[in-house]
Amino acid sequence: ASDLLNQTLDYEHTLTALAEMAVPTLAGQVVIDLVEDDGSLRCVAAAHSDPAKSEYLRDLRRRYPPTAEDHPVQRAVRTGEAVYLANVQEHVDEMAHDADHASEIRALANTSGIVVPLIARGRTLGAIQLGTVAPQPRFTQSDVELAIELARRASLALDNARLYGEAQARAHAAAALEFVDDGVFLLDGDDVIRLWNPAAAQTFRVKAAKALGRPAGELIRDWNAVQDRIRIASEPSSGVGRAQTVPVDVQGEERWLSISAVRFPGGTVYAFRDLTEERAVDQLKSDFVATVSHELRTPLAAIYGAALTLQRNDVRLEASQRDGLLDVVASEADRLARIVNDILWASRLDSGQMGVSIESCDAAKLARQVVEALRPHVQDAVELVVDAPEGLPEVAADPDKLRQVLTNLVDNGVKYSPDGGRVLVAVTHTANRIRFRIEDKGLGIPAAEHDRIFEKFFRLDPSMTRGVGGTGLGLYICRELVYRMHGRISVASDGRSGSTFTVELPVASS
């Protein structure tokens, strides 16, 4: 039995082999039950000297588990002591669920019986039940000793297998935690960090080697205040610990974490997802709605005002005044159309419905068309200039998309030059690229924001734009369109004396 028990770590398989080995040398029938996590017993092995009955024994156990309080198996498990039955037939009523069960037990015709508990490190793991069947002699006290010894060895093997299994499961769990995107950390009863996965290391910018063994309060700023806001569940999926979104200060930067926590005997495990980016997008979106409503309302109010004045019968308007008001209607309607246009372009880009069809285009002609279309809307203080030499090679682009890009850039150049100045559109070419340079003498863009201005909805702080309106979509649209045409877009500005945007697109192959 010892040899057998030491052979493998697959304990269910081993216990079955053990039961089979004990029959018929030691007993006429053997049944082994293990205690489950919920305290119930599960039959894992059964053997009978009549091999045809082994399966029947298992089935009987499944139908009638040994749940009766006085069942010898229950007694052995409860007391941790071996139970010896000199005459099994006298104890049938203690085991039987009902009359049918009782008659099935009787039919098995066990004469004597022994039940020995399986115990390791103070924990009861299950029980081995042995029975004699005539013509086998009944068990004696020395058989009880032997059964106890057998159970001791089986318990040891079982415990080893379980420990090994748990260690393996733990190793797998730890390995899995290395790869999940969610941050996971574990604090023991003293709030000392015992586990710190790479996602946690990334969010808190502290490596595991530095975090392990230190109190959470030393690594996470205001940990006590943060902890107070997290509802801790006492068991997983109880719903009590539903994730809370809380702000956490990471090296002076605010990060929004959606954290849930579960307490277990070894401490508390915290799992979180970093929602800072999502929150920022949400914030941008609500800012966007506010900005757009404002942006739409201003031209609408101007149009409405002009229309009301034109309608009045009591005031005689000069022809020039009428023309002026009609100009307001036309130019404000144009502004409205451009805002709505930007929103449509952005939504088409987002939904992936934006196809580009690249063809050979005359870059200089396109630049001039764009500038001429904008010229009527430009304030007098702004001088719009196109510098495009004759004989440039054609550019490979989608003309509608390129027109949109240039329109947005020139429009921005004009818009962000509230004091006027020259806005230049220069077209040049290198070996295989056509370069559009849109240069203004306006407010400029601080270097720190050069990347972000191309993000959707992003707008510079109003204090830097002297209240100039916009949706924050124009440059995003430019960047997306230029990428789709296999080009590059960039900005240069010292943040004070104007900005220069550069768009480069491939020369069309002739």
Q: How many residues lie near ligand ADP (CB under 6 A)?
A: 22
- The verdict on 241 binding ligand ADP (CB under 6 A) reads no
| Beta carbon of residue 446, minimum distance to ligand ADP (angstroms, whole number) | 9
Nearer to ligand ADP (CB atom), residue 75 or residue 338: 338
- The verdict on 443 binding ligand ADP (CB under 6 A) reads yes
Choose the binding region for ligand ADP from 34-42, 146-154, 276-284, 439-447 (rule: CB under 6 A).
439-447
| Beta carbon of residue 392, minimum distance to ligand ADP (angstroms, whole number) | 24
Q: Which residue is nearest to ligand ADP (CB)?
A: 470
Exactly one of 220, 371, 396, 445 binds ligand ADP (CB under 6 A); which one? 445
Q: What is the DSSP string of 307-355?
A: HHHHH-SSSPPPHHHHHHHHHHHHHHHHHHHHHHHHHHHHHHHHTT---
* Three-state secondary structure readout of 428-470: EECCCEEEEEEECCCCCCCHHHCCHHHCCCCCCCHHHHCCCCC
Q: Count the Cβ atoms, other than its own, within 10 Å of residue 474.
A: 25
- The verdict on 480 binding ligand ADP (CB under 6 A) reads no
Exactly one of 127, 303, 453, 503 binds ligand ADP (CB under 6 A); which one? 453
| Beta carbon of residue 364, minimum distance to ligand ADP (angstroms, whole number) | 22
Report the alpha-carbon distance of residue 36 to residue 52 in Å, rounded. 28
Q: What are phi and psi of 396, to 5 degrees?
A: -90, 105
- Do 468 and 444 touch, CB atoms closer than 8 A? no
- Do 382 and 417 touch, CB atoms closer than 8 A? yes
Q: Measured between alpha carbons, how far is residue 286 from residues 68, 283, 457, 468 in Å?
A: 65, 5, 10, 19
3-state class of 162 per DSSP?
helix
> Which residue from 167, 66, 64 is spatially nearest to 117, judged by alpha carbons?
66
Burial 3-19 (b: 16+ CB within 10 A, else e): ebbeeeeebeebbbbbb
- Do 254 and 260 touch, CB atoms closer than 8 A? no
Residue 469 Ramachandran class (φ > 0 left, ψ -120 to 50 alpha, else beta): beta
Exactly one of 113, 241, 474, 487 binds ligand ADP (CB under 6 A); which one? 474
Report the alpha-carbon distance of residue 455 to residue 451 in Å, rounded. 8
- The verdict on 442 binding ligand ADP (CB under 6 A) reads yes
| Beta carbon of residue 291, minimum distance to ligand ADP (angstroms, whole number) | 8
Q: What are phi and psi of 130, to 5 degrees?
A: -115, 145
- The verdict on 66 binding ligand ADP (CB under 6 A) reads no
| Beta carbon of residue 430, minimum distance to ligand ADP (angstroms, whole number) | 23
Choose the binding region for ligand ADP from 200-208, 252-260, 343-351, 467-475 (rule: CB under 6 A).
467-475
- The verdict on 421 binding ligand ADP (CB under 6 A) reads no
- The verdict on 471 binding ligand ADP (CB under 6 A) reads yes
- The verdict on 410 binding ligand ADP (CB under 6 A) reads no
- The verdict on 416 binding ligand ADP (CB under 6 A) reads yes
Q: Count the Cβ atoms, other than its own, within 10 Å of residue 163.
A: 13
Exactly one of 475, 482, 485, 505 binds ligand ADP (CB under 6 A); which one? 475
Report the alpha-carbon distance of residue 132 to residue 26 in Å, rounded. 8
Nearer to ligand ADP (CB atom), residue 147 or residue 489: 489
Q: Tokens 């996470």 belong to which residue?
A: 220
Nearer to ligand ADP (CB atom), residue 71 or residue 441: 441
Exactly one of 412, 425, 439, 480 binds ligand ADP (CB under 6 A); which one? 412
| Beta carbon of residue 436, minimum distance to ligand ADP (angstroms, whole number) | 14
Q: How far apart are the first and last CA of the chain?
A: 87
- The verdict on 397 binding ligand ADP (CB under 6 A) reads no
Residues forming a β-bridge with 84: 114
Q: Give the single-character DSSP code of 215.
A: B
- The verdict on 499 binding ligand ADP (CB under 6 A) reads yes
Choose the binding region for ligand ADP from 93-101, 222-230, 249-257, 409-417 (rule: CB under 6 A).
409-417
Nearer to ligand ADP (CB atom), residue 333 or residue 464: 464
Choose the binding region for ligand ADP from 66-74, 85-93, 214-222, 412-420 (rule: CB under 6 A).
412-420
- The verdict on 349 binding ligand ADP (CB under 6 A) reads no
The two three-digit tokens of residue 79, written as one number: 């007391």
- The verdict on 460 binding ligand ADP (CB under 6 A) reads yes
3-state class of 507 per DSSP?
strand
Exactly one of 195, 250, 459, 503 binds ligand ADP (CB under 6 A); which one? 459
| Beta carbon of residue 460, minimum distance to ligand ADP (angstroms, whole number) | 3
- The verdict on 441 binding ligand ADP (CB under 6 A) reads no
- The verdict on 476 binding ligand ADP (CB under 6 A) reads yes
- The verdict on 465 binding ligand ADP (CB under 6 A) reads yes
- The verdict on 470 binding ligand ADP (CB under 6 A) reads yes
Binding residues for ligand ADP, per CB under 6 A? 408, 412-413, 416, 440, 442-445, 453, 458-460, 465, 470-476, 499
